[in-house]
Amino acid sequence: MARADDDAKIQAMIQRLGGICKTQASARNGVPMSDVRVNLAATLKESIDSGETTLKDIKKYGLIYDYKLKRNGVVLHGSCDVEANGTIDRIEEN
């Protein structure tokens, strides 16, 4: 039962922190939120799916997201690190 509870909490954190990344990427680039696509970083997603990264880890280290948006006809890719409390540690476009 504990694992199911943790899975639900992890999913909720992924959604909440991903929304924070999306909001920041949108504001930073002056585009509507509907133009920003945010995904959990692939290696982190695999680690969570396999159980290697736990709820405790996420609370300690936060999550990393990749995002993609279109501004003035140009597609930009970026990433952001979001602490469990919602603070953005780093956001950058590549």
Q: Which residues of the chain have pLDDT under 50?
A: 1
What are 24's two structure tokens? 């920041």
What is the per-residue pLDDT for 1?
A: 47
Q: What is the pLDDT of residues 59-80, one digit of tens each?
A: 999 999 999 999 988 999 999 9
Domain boundaries, given as residue ranges, for the chain: 2-93
> What's the order of all strands across the beta sheet hosting 63-71?
36-40, 63-71, 74-82, 88-93
* Predicted structure pTM score: 0.91
What is the per-residue pLDDT for 35?
A: 95
What is the per-residue pLDDT for 24?
A: 96
